[in-house]
A and B are shown apart, each in its own frame.
Chain A
Amino acid sequence: MQLESMYQDIILDHYKNPHGRGLRDPYDGESFQVNPTCGDEITLRVHVDGDTITDVSYDGQGCSISQASASVLNDLVVGNTVEQAMATMNAFVELMQGRGTVEPDEEVLDDGVAFAGVAKYPARVKCALLGWMALKAALASAGVAGAAQGVEVQ
C-alpha cells in the first residue's frame, strides 16, 4: 500500500519520540521557517563550537513528515562539522527533489533514507525540507563560514 511507503516506521517513530526537540540555550543562530501553503512552522537554533555543530534545538508545529524530518536532522547534524552537515543536507535535498528516482546512501543519511517514499509526493517534499531550510538559515545567521553555500532548499 502506498501509504506505508511514505509513512515508514522510522518516520513514525521519530514523530512519536522526536530527538532533541525543544529550544535550548546557548545558541549562535536561529531561524523561523514557515510553510505558507499549510501554516506548518519551525523555530530552529544552532550552537556551534569552532567548526562543530554542538547542538540543534527546535520547536514548532507540523505534520508527521515535517516533525520527523527535524528529529532526523538533529541525529544527522549534531556532533558533526558544518562541512559534514552541509554535505548531508545536500544529499537529503537531492533525495527529496528526486521524485523517487534517487537511491539514498544510508552511510550518509542514516534514518533519513526513510524519506525516500515521501519524495514521490511533491506536495509533501516541502514538509520534509522545512527543518533543513531552517538549519541552513540558522547557520547563516550564526555567521558560520560555508553556510551560505550548498544547494538551494527552497
Chain B
Amino acid sequence: MTTSTTPGETGSVTPGSAATAPADAPLDVAALRADFAILTRTVRDEKPLVYLDSGATSQRPRQVLDAERKFLETANAAVHRGAHQLAEEATDAYEDARAAIAAFVGVDVGEVVFTKNATEGVNLVAYAMSNATTAGPEMERFTLGKGDEVVITEMEHHANLVPWQQLCQRTGATLRWFGVTADGRLDLSNIDELITERTKLVAFTHQSNVLGTINPVRQIVTKAREVGALTLLDACQSVPHGPVNFHELGVDFAVFSGHKMLGPSGIGVLYGRRELLEAMPPFLTGGSMIELVKMEQTTFAPPPQRFEAGVPMTSQAVGLGAAVRYLNSIGIDNIAKHEHELTRAAVAGLSAIDGVRIIGPGIEADGDVHDRGGAVSFVVDGVHPHDVSQVLDSLGIAVRVGHHCAWPLHRALGIPSTVRASFYLYNQLSDVDALVAGVREARRFFGVSEDDAGGAGNGQAGG
C-alpha cells in the first residue's frame, strides 16, 4: 500500500480511531463516527439520523473530503497533458490513487480503468464487445453474433442486466440466466446446461444488492474457463465491505463504484485482466486515449489510458484513493467482521418479529449467517414496504425501499418491492435495535400487530 504524500495528496488520512487499532480489534465505532459529520445531524423533528442505506450510497469521512479539497486547492490541473508543475502533481495524485485502488483489490495498476461509475464500467465492456463485432477477425474473442450466448443471473442489478440484454439485441446473441432459489441463493443446478461452448461471457454479481447473498465466484469462473467464456463480476456490494482480490478470484473483468466505499460519486472502477484490456477495442474515443492521430487513421494508447477518453474526473479519483487509505487504516477484515455482527443481529432481530420475512439468506442452523453480506431486505405482512419505510423515516431511520434496481429478482420472488437496510463500518448495534423497534412500530401503526387494536388497517392491498 502506497503511503506517498506527493504534493496534492491528502497528507494524513488517519481516521479518528483506527491509527492505533491492532488487527482483529473490534472497531471503535464511536471514534470513527466522529469522522462522518453527517451522522451527527438530526432529521424529521430532531430525530438522530440512523443511516441504514449505505448499500445505495455510503457517507464520506472528513479525510476523503479533505483530500479532494486539498487536491483542488493545491494541485488541480488536467492530468496526462501539459508539462507544468501543477500538471505533473495532478497526474501524480491521479496515478497514486490508481495504485492505491489497484492494491486494494489485488490487481496491477495498469488493470484499473477509471469510469464515471460502475454502470459505465459494465457498459464499457458491453460496447467494446459491440465495437469488436464490427472490427476485424483479430477481435473474434470479443465478438458476439447469432448462436453466441451471454449468461447472467436473475439477481442482477439492472446495471449488470440491461447492458447485456441490449448487447444481445444488437448482435443477435442470446441472453440466458441463472435462477434464484427460494432461500435467495443462486440456483447453479443447471450450470452445465447454461454455461456451454456457446457462452461468450458470464456476468454476475459478487454480492446481491437485495438478498445480500455472496455468490460462489470460483465455481462459476472455473466453469466459464472450461468453455472459454469471459467473466465479469459486479463487485459494487463486495469491495466496500470485505477483502476482495480479483486476481485470486480469477475473473476477467470486475466493476465497483467509489461512492459505495466512502469515496466520491462520479467515479467508478473497471478492472480488466491486462491481456484482455490490451486486446480489447475502446468504447469511448477522443482525447487522451490515442497514440497517433492522422486525418485518416488513429492508433490507440495502451490501457488503461485507452479506456479513459477525455479529461478524467481527477479530484474524485484522489478522493477514492483517500477512501481506500481510510479503509486500509481501519482494516477491511475488521470492517467485514463488524458488519457480520450487525448483519447477524439485524437478520435475527427482524426474523423474530411476527409477519416479517427476510428476503435472502436467513439465520442458519448454527445461529449465524453465512455467505451473505450486510444488505438485509425484508417484507412485513400487511404493510407495504413504502409505508414501512415512511414509519422508519419518521423515526429518523433511513432505509431503501422499492425494487432496488433489481426488478426481475423481485418478480421471480413474487414480491413487488422490499425494505432494505444496509450497513457499513459506522453503523452500530444500537442502529440495528432502532431498526427492529421501528419495524415493530410500523406494524403497530398499521394495525397488523396483535398487541394493538387502534391501528390503521390490515393493509390488504399491500404487497
Point out residues on A near B: beta carbons under 8 Å: 1-3, 6-7, 9, 12-13, 15-16, 18, 21, 37-41, 60-65, 67, 121, 124, 127
Summarize B's interface: helix, strand, loop or mixed: loop
- A37 to B460 CA separation, bound complex (whole angstroms): 22
Q: Which residues of A contact B456 (CB under 8 A)?
A: 7, 9, 12, 15-16, 64
Given contacts A15-B456, A62-B463, 14 further A-B contacts (CB under 8 A): A1-B45, A9-B456, A13-B457, A16-B457, A38-B385, A39-B417, A61-B462, A62-B384, A62-B462, A63-B384, A63-B385, A63-B462, A64-B384, A127-B386
User: Of B386, B391, B460, B462, which one neighbours A38 at CB under 8 angstroms?
Assistant: B386
B interface, size bucket: 20 to 34
Q: Which residues of B contact A18 (CB under 8 A)?
A: 461
- A12 to B410 CA separation, bound complex (whole angstroms): 26
Contact status A40-B416, CB under 8 Å: yes
Contact status A3-B394, CB under 8 Å: yes
- A12 to B456 CA separation, bound complex (whole angstroms): 6
Contact status A39-B384, CB under 8 Å: no
Contact status B390-A6, CB under 8 Å: yes
8 closest A-B pairs by CB:
A16-B457, A63-B386, A12-B456, A63-B384, A67-B461, A38-B402, A3-B394, A39-B403
Q: How far is the CB of B198 from chain A (nearest CB, A)?
A: 33
Contact status B445-A7, CB under 8 Å: yes
- Residues of B439-454 at the interface with A, using a CB-CB cut-off of 8 Å, are 445-446
Contact status A65-B386, CB under 8 Å: yes
Does B333 make an interface contact (CB < 8 A)?
A: no
- A60 to B416 CA separation, bound complex (whole angstroms): 11
Q: Which residues of A contact B283 (CB under 8 A)?
A: none
Q: How far is the CB of B49 from chain A (nearest CB, A)?
A: 15
Contact status A15-B391, CB under 8 Å: no
Given the interface contacts A7-B445, A64-B384, does A39 sit within 8 Å of B460 by beta carbon? no
Cβ-closest chain A residue relative to B411: A39
Does B401 make an interface contact (CB < 8 A)?
A: yes
- A2 to B46 CA separation, bound complex (whole angstroms): 12
Q: Which residues of A contact B410 (CB under 8 A)?
A: 39
Q: How far is the CB of B178 from chain A (nearest CB, A)?
A: 22
Contact status A38-B417, CB under 8 Å: yes
Contact status B462-A39, CB under 8 Å: no
- A124 to B401 CA separation, bound complex (whole angstroms): 12
- A135 to B184 CA separation, bound complex (whole angstroms): 38
Contact status B463-A2, CB under 8 Å: no
Q: Which residues of A contact B462 (CB under 8 A)?
A: 61-64, 67
Does B458 make an interface contact (CB < 8 A)?
A: yes
Give me 22 A-to-B residue pairs in the complex whose CB atoms sit less than 8 angstroms apart, sorted by A's number: A7-B387, A7-B456, A12-B456, A15-B459, A16-B456, A16-B460, A21-B461, A37-B402, A38-B385, A38-B402, A38-B403, A39-B403, A40-B417, A40-B463, A61-B416, A61-B463, A63-B385, A63-B386, A64-B446, A65-B386, A67-B461, A127-B386
- A82 to B446 CA separation, bound complex (whole angstroms): 35
- A127 to B462 CA separation, bound complex (whole angstroms): 13
Q: Which residues of A contact B394 (CB under 8 A)?
A: 1-3
- A18 to B457 CA separation, bound complex (whole angstroms): 11
Does B300 make an interface contact (CB < 8 A)?
A: no
Q: How far is the CB of B405 from chain A (nearest CB, A)?
A: 10
Q: Which residues of A contact B407 (CB under 8 A)?
A: 39
Q: Which residues of B contact A124 (CB under 8 A)?
A: 386, 390
Does B225 make an interface contact (CB < 8 A)?
A: no
Q: How far is the CB of B216 from chain A (nearest CB, A)?
A: 29
User: Of B391, B458, B461, which one neighbours A62 at CB under 8 angstroms?
Assistant: B461
Most chain A CB inside 10 Å of its own CB: which residue of B386, B417, B445: B386
Q: Which residues of A contact B391 (CB under 8 A)?
A: 3
Does B44 make an interface contact (CB < 8 A)?
A: yes
Given the interface contacts A1-B394, A15-B459, does A64 sit within 8 Å of B417 by beta carbon? no
- A61 to B462 CA separation, bound complex (whole angstroms): 6
Q: Which residues of B contact A7 (CB under 8 A)?
A: 387, 390, 445, 456
Q: How far is the CB of A141 from chain B (nearest CB, A)?
A: 24
Cβ-closest chain A residue relative to B415: A39
- A146 to B402 CA separation, bound complex (whole angstroms): 35
Q: Which residues of B contact A61 (CB under 8 A)?
A: 416, 461-463
Q: Which residues of A contact B461 (CB under 8 A)?
A: 15, 18, 21, 60-62, 64, 67
- A69 to B456 CA separation, bound complex (whole angstroms): 16
Q: Which residues of B contact A37 (CB under 8 A)?
A: 402
Contact status B457-A64, CB under 8 Å: yes
Most chain B CB inside 10 Å of its own CB: which residue of A41, A62, A124: A62
Q: How far is the CB of A74 from chain B (nearest CB, A)?
A: 13
Contact status A2-B384, CB under 8 Å: no
Contact status A16-B458, CB under 8 Å: yes
- B107-121 vs A, CB cutoff 8 Å, 1 = contact: the mask equals 000000000000000
Cβ-closest chain B residue relative to A68: B461
Cβ-closest chain B residue relative to A13: B457
- A71 to B401 CA separation, bound complex (whole angstroms): 23
Q: How far is the CB of A110 from chain B (nearest CB, A)?
A: 20
Given the interface contacts A7-B456, A63-B385, does A2 sit within 8 Å of B44 by beta carbon? yes
Q: Which residues of A contact B390 (CB under 8 A)?
A: 3, 6-7, 121, 124
